[in-house]
């Protein structure tokens, strides 16, 4: 098993949050309440931009969007060395867009 697989497996089953930390809210979950819960979640997502005038929401949003914008702006300068190398051929073969093709015995 590769190191990447072990790391992915460990992160998948790792406990989330700090020990002893309680969730922010605890709502009932059932098949009957699934649609209202999804609707509530969607409402929070789509009304979030209206909350950006509060400092509580603005600072974390800027902390995320600032580095993201910097990475997008720097992409034309950073990406060419990675596009023009053959060092990642093994990675590309394993994580190709068509994994069925690479798993066939004819390759």
Q: Are residues 82 and 88 in contact, defined by beta-carbon separation less than 8 angstroms?
A: yes
Q: What is the mean pLDDT of the chain?
A: 78
Q: pTM of the entire structure? A: 0.46
Domain boundaries, the chain: 48-76
Residues, the chain = 107
The Cα 93–Cα 87 span in angstroms is: 12
Neighbours of 37 (CB within 10 A): 13
| Overall average pLDDT of the 23-44 stretch | 87
Calculate the alpha carbon distances from 14 to 53, 62, 105, 106 in Å.
Answer: 35, 28, 36, 38
CA triple 72-77-81, angle to 5 deg = 115
Say what the pLDDT of residue 26 is: 78
pLDDT, residue 14, reads 60
């Amino acid at each position: 098993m590769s190191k990447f697989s072990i790391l992915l497996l460990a992160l998948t089953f790792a406990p989330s949050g700090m020990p002893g930390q309680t969730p922010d809210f605890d709502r009932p979950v059932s098949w009957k309440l699934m649609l209202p819960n999804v609707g509530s979640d969607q409402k929070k997502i789509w009304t979030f931009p209206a909350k950006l005038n509060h400092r509580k929401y603005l600072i974390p949003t800027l902390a995320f969007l600032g580095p993201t914008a910097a990475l997008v702006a720097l992409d034309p300068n950073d990406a060419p060395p990675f596009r023009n190398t053959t060092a990642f051929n093994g990675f590309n073969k394993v994580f190709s867009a068509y994994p069925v093709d690479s798993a066939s015995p004819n390759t």
